[in-house]
């Protein structure tokens, strides 16, 4: 599971509001903010400590970084079956168009192309709806006709420009069958009933160590039969997977330990065969390795993109540990059993013994697939419930990504903090404690929240169906919110002020009820799991207690917390409900919470937040440019060093990746 940056709404406001003391440093010559377009800002992240790494560490990171980029085409294709054709058309226009590139229409096309590259396809990366170009369909046709495009031009114009075609990447199933109305490429001609029956026949509910059925496949229907197309070296996505395996093999040769080399080879074997038992074997070995300084994520992992919450989107990254910053997460993970034992849930649902919880603060070096350009700020893996229970999990908080968000916000002249805070007391509290409590929320969410609790015997990990991602993110968020206010954090030396947690409570409620709505188009409801999670929690707390008050001043809406103690108890009550829903696989109770609190948007509030945010001229989404790792060779052709260079241009990086990692 991962926690997206959007969960940290308020960081931009915190950073901009800090004042002169946080705006000048030795980093002043490095520009974090690269460019802005539509609702997006492009940011560069630094890799502190790169020059202190030894050659073996750098080489390992280089090889795993290449593996992280080689799956790019896979993720594009998973998002939508025509995405790769669209991308090739956009690349052809950008590189070969012979017409005038200075017209307003071409500038509108450039914005569209950048949006599609950012979202890894024609659907918005967060809000799920189709991205439509501002230029006309006729102009798009003209662009294609005057470029070296090898595709049916009329068909491509329809795919890109018709608002009625492929409207949602992942639908809510309100206008028809959940799968047939979704444009995601995890299912081909298969409806929901057929998919659920297919996997129900495969699963053994008595198996205490089940594989993640369907994680690495597309379900398709031919000649009346439903079957899986497995992602593997000689199967679906084979050419890209073979390239990933090539770099994994090279990385295994420079691994930090024999154990790391061994599980990298297990991962390679999994890619070659598609055998999910090997995926589990890799994850068990990977999670038990808590000593490696350099580490990575690579595979078909998160299921947010699948309407049924089963199929994994491809992603990869590589990183190394920030040892000094990891002190906080180490303390939390060492006390995991105390947090589990004192959780406000039914004791039946607590783990008697918490195993193998490890947490680190890291600096990422290369992002790929579902982690690029938009990346999480925290990750907890593996997702398999039985592996979590028996072997534990790894949690990471990505320090250089949160730092880049922070620094890029300082380069912007305006902030959301003053606009949406009720009074100066709120502003002061968030300025002082917003950053540390935001980081702690991520730590607790990833390190302990996802790994807490247990399923009852016979309950499938897929029991909550299409609601599983939203409910799981909400459960982990509630765990973090509850414990942020616990005196235990002061006892452990993590928080010095017992009032500090209030900063995160203010940010979270404000974001869940109000400011996150800036991320969706007018008239839309919420479809993305993390956004649904936040609205569910905040809206439930607003409607089921008196801790939060909606106030209006000078025609502007504010949400004010009047009783922080009561709010914490509301979080405890909802956490207990969430854990019972997961532990018992109660899909009907989960469905009620999601549909009652998480999806519907107050359209008047939405209009207001869009207007207020527009006046600030800030972008609600951020994504990143990867640095370039440049090998330096000796006379024998051997790598003698690897230099890190920071990229300068978003489109240039996208076009270069299109040439270097075009395997499908």
Alpha-carbon distance values, 337 to 201, 332, 393, 451, 487 (Å): 37, 10, 14, 11, 16
Enter the pTM of the model.
0.86
588-619 burial, b if ≥16 CB within 10 A, otherwise e? ebbbebbeebbbebeeebbebbeebbeebebb
Task: Output the six-digit token pair for 488.
Answer: 């235990």
Residue 411 phi/psi, 5-degree rounding, is -80, -5
Token pair, residue 28, equals 């002043």
3-state secondary structure of 557: strand
| CA 625 to centroid of chain Cα atoms | 16
Q: Which helix H or strand E contains 424, and what residues bound it?
A: helix 424-443
Instruction: Looking at 203-308, list the stretches that DSSP marks H as alpha helix, in order from N- to C-terminal side.
Output: 238-252, 258-273, 276-288
- pLDDT of amino acid 22: 34
Q: Are 7 and 480 in contact (CB under 8 A)?
A: no
Place of tokens 């905040």: 538
Is residue 427 classed as helix, strand or coil in its secondary structure? helix
Tokens 């598609």 found at: 274
Structure tokens at 285: 């070995």
Which residues, at least 6 apart from 423, have a Cβ–Cβ distance to it below 8 Å?
none
Q: Which residue has the tokens 């990143």?
A: 624
**Ranges of each domain in the chain:** 2-48+322-623
**Cα–Cα distance for residue pair 171/577, rounded to 1 Å:** 26
390 token code pair: 């028996």
Closest CA relative to residue 296, chosen from 255, 340, 327, 332: 255
Q: Alpha carbon of 433 to those of 127, 218, 390, 407: distances in Å?
A: 30, 45, 36, 17
Written as one string, the DSSP assignment of 558-604 is EEEES-HHHHHHHHHHHHHHHHHHHHHT-HHHHHHHIIIIIS---HH
Question: Residue 373, preceding bond cis, omega within 30 degrees?
Answer: yes
Q: How far apart are CA 429 and CA 505, in angstroms?
A: 11
φ, ψ (nearest 5 deg) of residue 299? 150, -175
Edge-first strand order for the sheet with 33-37 is 33-37, 40-44, 621-625
Q: What is the reported pLDDT for 28?
A: 52
CA dihedral for 118, 121, 122, 125, sign (positive or negative): negative
- pLDDT < 50: residue spans in the chain: 5-27
Instruction: Please give the order of strands across the beta sheet that includes 376-381.
Output: 2-4, 376-381, 393-398, 357-369, 314-321, 294-300
**Residue (of 256, 225, 250) closest to 54 by Cα position:** 256
């Amino acid at each position: 599971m991962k926690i997206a940056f959007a969960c940290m709404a308020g960081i931009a406001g915190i950073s901009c509001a800090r004042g002169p003391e946080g705006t000048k440093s030795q980093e002043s010559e490095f520009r974090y903010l690269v460019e802005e377009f539509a609702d997006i800002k492009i940011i560069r992240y630094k890799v502190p400590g790169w020059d202190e790494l030894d050659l073996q560490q750098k080489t390992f990171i280089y090889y795993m970084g290449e593996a992280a980029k080689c799956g790019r085409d896979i993720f594009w294709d998973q998002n939508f079956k025509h995405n790769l054709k669209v991308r090739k058309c956009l690349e052809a226009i950008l590189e070969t168009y012979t017409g005038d590139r200075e017209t307003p229409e071409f500038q509108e096309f450039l914005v569209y192309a950048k949006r599609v590259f950012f979202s890894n396809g024609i659907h918005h990366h967060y809000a799920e709806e189709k991205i439509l170009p501002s230029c006309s369909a006729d102009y798009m046709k003209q662009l294609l006709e005057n470029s070296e495009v090898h595709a049916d031009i009329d068909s491509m114009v329809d795919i890109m420009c018709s608002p009625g075609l492929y409207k949602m990447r992942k639908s809510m199933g309100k206008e028809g069958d959940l799968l047939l109305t979704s444009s995601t490429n995890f299912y081909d001609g298969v409806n929901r009933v057929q998919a659920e029956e297919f996997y129900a026949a495969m699963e053994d509910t008595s198996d205490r160590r089940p594989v993640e059925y369907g994680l690495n496949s597309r379900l398709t229907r031919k000649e009346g039969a439903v079957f899986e197309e497995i992602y593997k070296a000689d199967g679906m996505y084979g050419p890209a997977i073979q390239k990933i395996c090539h770099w994994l093999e090279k990385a295994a040769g420079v691994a930090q330990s024999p154990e790391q080399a061994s599980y990298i080879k297990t991962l390679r074997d999994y890619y070659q065969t598609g055998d999910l038992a090997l995926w589990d074997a890799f994850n068990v070995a990977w999670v038990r390795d808590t000593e490696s300084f350099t580490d990575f994520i690579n595979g078909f992992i998160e299921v947010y993109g699948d309407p049924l919450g089963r199929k994994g989107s491809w992603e990869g990254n590589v990183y190394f540990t920030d040892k000094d910053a990891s002190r906080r997460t180490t303390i939390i993970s060492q006390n995991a059993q105390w947090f589990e034992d004192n959780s406000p849930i039914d004791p039946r649902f607590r783990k008697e013994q918490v195993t193998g919880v490890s947490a680190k603060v890291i600096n990422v070096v290369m992002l790929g697939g579902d982690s690029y350009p938009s990346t999480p700020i925290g990750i907890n893996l593996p997702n398999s419930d039985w592996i979590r229970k028996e072997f534990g999990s790894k949690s990471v908080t990505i320090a250089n990504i949160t730092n880049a968000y922070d620094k890029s916000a300082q380069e912007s002249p305006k902030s959301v903090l003053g606009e949406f805070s009720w009074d100066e007391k709120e502003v002061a509290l968030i300025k002082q404690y917003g950053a540390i409590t935001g980081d702690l929320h991520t730590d607790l969410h990833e390190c302990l929240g996802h790994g807490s609790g247990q399923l009852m015997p016979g309950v499938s990990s897929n029991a909550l169906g299409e609601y599983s991602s939203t409910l799981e993110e909400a459960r982990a968020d509630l765990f973090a919110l509850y414990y942020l206010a616990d005196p235990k954090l002061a006892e452990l030396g993590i928080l010095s002020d017992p009032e500090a947690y209030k900063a995160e409570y203010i940010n979270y409620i404000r974001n869940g009820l109000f400011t996150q709505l800036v991320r969706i188009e007018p008239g839309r409801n919420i479809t993305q799991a993390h956004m649904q999670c936040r609205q569910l929690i905040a809206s439930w707390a607003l409607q089921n207690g008196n801790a939060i008050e909606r106030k209006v001043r000078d025609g502007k809406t504010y949400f004010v917390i009047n009783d922080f103690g009561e709010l914490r108890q509301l979080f405890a009550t909802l956490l207990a409900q969430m854990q019972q829903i997961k532990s018992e696989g109660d899909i009907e109770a989960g469905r009620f919470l999601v549909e009652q609190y998480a999806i519907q948007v107050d359209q008047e509030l939405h209009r207001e937040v869009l207007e207020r945010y527009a006046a600030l001229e800030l972008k609600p989404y951020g994504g990143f440019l990867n640095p370039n790792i440049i090998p330096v060779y000796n006379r024998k052709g051997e790598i003698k060093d690897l230099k890190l260079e920071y990229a300068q241009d978003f489109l240039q990086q996208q076009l270069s990746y299109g040439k270097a990692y075009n395997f499908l």
